[in-house]
């Protein structure tokens, strides 16, 4: 059973964290063929943390977790903090497969998304 762990930075603004949880629901709605569930988690500030998010995946019955960094550029968080957290999660759950996917900024469809956004008032 495969579960997506959608990892965002985490904000002091609770409404910003709620956006991520809503996005997780939207991904689940369109990605049901690939993922039994989509769990939102936060690297810093907000909860669930990455470790708590992995626990949620296990409680849902996951045998395979695909961690998707919801980050735009490969700064320190993408390059080392998230891989470090996932290494820690793997050590605590040796029976679980935890894979790290591409981060969202590293996708060829992003230029098109930027163009779409520019056409909509902020």
Closer residue to a second copy (CB): 31 or 61:
31
The torsion defined by the Cα of 30, 87, 20 and 62, in degrees rounded to 10, comes to 40
SS3 label, residue 66: strand
Which residues contribute to the site for a second copy (CB under 8 A)? 4, 6, 8-9, 11-13, 15-17, 19-20, 23, 26-27, 29-31, 34-35, 66, 68-76, 79, 99-107, 109-122
Nearest to 53 by CA among 8, 94, 22, 95: 8
Which lies closer to a second copy via its Cβ, residue 58 or residue 104? Answer: 104
Q: How far is the CB of 119 from a second copy (least distance, A)?
A: 7
Q: Which residues contact 69 (CB under 8 A, 6 or more apart)?
A: 7, 77, 78, 82, 100, 101, 103, 104
Q: What angle do CA 33, 37, 43 make, to 5 degrees?
A: 130
Please identify, using beta-carbon distances, which residue of 63 and 102 lies nearer to a second copy: 102
The CB-of-46 to a second copy minimum distance in angstroms stands at 10
Cβ nearer to a second copy, comparing 19 with 55: 19
Q: How far is the CB of 56 from a second copy (least distance, A)?
A: 17
CB of 14 to a second copy, least distance (A): 10
């Amino acid at each position: 059973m495969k579960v997506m762990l959608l990892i965002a930075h985490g904000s002091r603004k609770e409404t910003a964290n709620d956006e991520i949880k809503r996005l997780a629901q939207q991904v689940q709605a369109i990605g049901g063929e690939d993922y039994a569930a989509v769990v939102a988690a936060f690297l810093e500030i907000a909860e669930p943390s990455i470790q708590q998010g992995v626990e949620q995946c296990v409680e849902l019955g996951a045998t395979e977790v695909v961690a998707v960094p919801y980050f735009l550029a490969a700064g320190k968080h993408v390059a080392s903090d998230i891989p470090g957290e996932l290494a820690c999660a793997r050590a605590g759950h040796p029976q679980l497969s935890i894979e790290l996917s591409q981060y969202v900024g590293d996708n060829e469809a992003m230029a098109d998304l930027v163009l779409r956004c520019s056409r909509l008032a902020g």
